[in-house]
Amino acid sequence: MDTLFFIGVFLAFFLQFLLLSKKHKTLSDKILAIWMFFIGFHLFSYSIYYLEYWDKYPHLVGIHHWVPLLHGPLLYLYTVFSLRKDQHIRQKDYMHFAPSVLVFLYMFRFYFFYSTERKIMINNGEVDDFSLFMTLSLIAFLLSGIIYPILSYHLLGKHRRLIDENFSYDEEINLNWLKYCIWGIGLIFITATIVTLMREIIGVDFGFNADLIFYTEITFFIFFLGYFGIRHKGIFAENTAKSNQIVEPKTQGEYKKSGLDQTVAVSYHNDLLKIMKEQKPFLEPKLSLGNLAKRMNISVNHLSQIINQYEGINFYDFVNKYRVEEFMLKVADIKNKNFSILAIALDSGFNSKSSFNQVFKKCTGKTPSQYMTEIKA
């Protein structure tokens, strides 16, 4: 078991290094790297406790007690800065770390002024100097583990809308993987809560160190989080100018205040349809709202408004509707009969098989295979 823990610790610190070495890293990448460091530190601290080094080196007792309160805030801020154009931490963002800082300050005297003998007595439960504090900090930890994942999960919906409003693809810039990370964190906190309640309140004797359950989960969580975090490319990752081309989703009421004249809007809409038909910009796999707006020589805000108001859909659906139509035309062409479905899909502007299958089913209500079977019948 100790080998598994040290593998987890090594992975956490190694993945932190990779994240900091990543090209075009964003603030969210840096936050994830910091998070990986504290996860690694947390797991390392528990490992030396599990190996009974606290008995040999009492000054190590409780060194990670303040760290669990960092996990929720770092998850939340990672999600926030994957969304926010302003890639700078504001003063109020630091407030999320207040509980952890307060716990550290409260234990400051324990860390630096308690004698070795006193620390051993507290660790063995012979002295209850911190019994009430430990209970309160445990409650705070469990609440943090519930509240922050819920807040982060809520933000994922906003991220999805932001992608759909600005990009015709979502590979590498979506945060779908983070949804599974949040579920994983939820599982860890639920496990910790159940184990704590059963052991401390109900008095269940598991017959083994039940903490090993959720610390093992943390070890596997490190690999998943680090792997996908490294592969993820933020919306604002490529350059700072790109962030100025990102349009926030707006309501119809907000569009009324945009100042875009209706006559001009109709003209823009006609130009848009002409370009989509004649120039077929949708064949570019990574077409963005900014790219198309530049081609039309209009602002991204006006183009977004035109698509939303006159087409009734977002940019992602608008572009991929043309790709599906292009796929159908190519499939019907006898010259393409020797090409695979995927080859034709990629030639129609899609980025991957998974995105093609998802978009095609959404547009037609059928899978590509079902459609191919029908047209051949």
Cβ atoms 155, 83 nearer than 8 A:
yes
Distance separating alpha carbons of residues 317 and 355, to the nearest angstrom: 12
Tokens of 181: 């990370």
- Residues β-bridged to residue 167: 288
The predicted pLDDT at position 236 comes to 61
> Virtual CA dihedral for 90, 91, 93, 98, nearest 10 degrees?
160
- CA-based Rg of the chain, rounded to a whole angstrom? 27
Q: Which residues contact 357 (CB under 8 A, 6 or more apart)?
A: 367, 368
Residue 239: predicted pLDDT = 42
Give burial (CB, 10 Å; 0-12/13-18/19+) of 71.
Answer: buried
- Topology at the third CATH level for domain 2-241: Rhopdopsin 7-helix transmembrane proteins (1.20.1070)
Q: Which CATH architecture has domain 320-377?
A: Orthogonal Bundle (1.10)
Residue 240 has a pLDDT of: 42
Instruction: Evaluate whether 1 touches 51 at the Cβ level (below 8 Å).
Output: no
pTM: 0.76
- 153 with 178: CB under 8 angstroms? no
| pLDDT at residue 377, rounded to an integer | 60
The residue type of 218 is: I
The contacts of residue 286 (CB under 8 Å, 6+ apart) are 167, 168, 169, 351
Q: How many CA atoms lie within 13 A of 75 on its CB side?
A: 32
Q: What is the dihedral of CA 96, 99, 101, 105, to 10 degrees?
A: 160
Residue with tokens 């998070």: 35
Amino acid at 209: N
**Dihedral sign computed on CA atoms, order 194, 195, 196, 199:** positive
Token pair belonging to 294: 């530049």
Instruction: Give the length of the chain.
Output: 377
| Residue the block writes with tokens 């469990």 | 142
Alpha helices in 124-261, H assignment, sequence order: 131-166, 176-196, 211-231, 240-243, 252-255
Picking from 168, 209, 160, 213, the residue whose alpha carbon sits closest to that of residue 190 is: 213
CA angle 209, 110, 97 (to 5 degrees): 80
Rounded alpha-carbon distances, angstroms, from residue 81 to 11, 31, 234, 328? 24, 9, 9, 39
> Residues 300, 245: contact at Cβ < 8 Å?
yes
All structural domains of the chain with their residue ranges: 2-241, 248-312, 320-377
* CB-based contact 27:72 (threshold 8 Å): no
- Kindly give the parts of the chain with pLDDT less than 70: 1-2, 232-244, 252-253, 256-257, 377
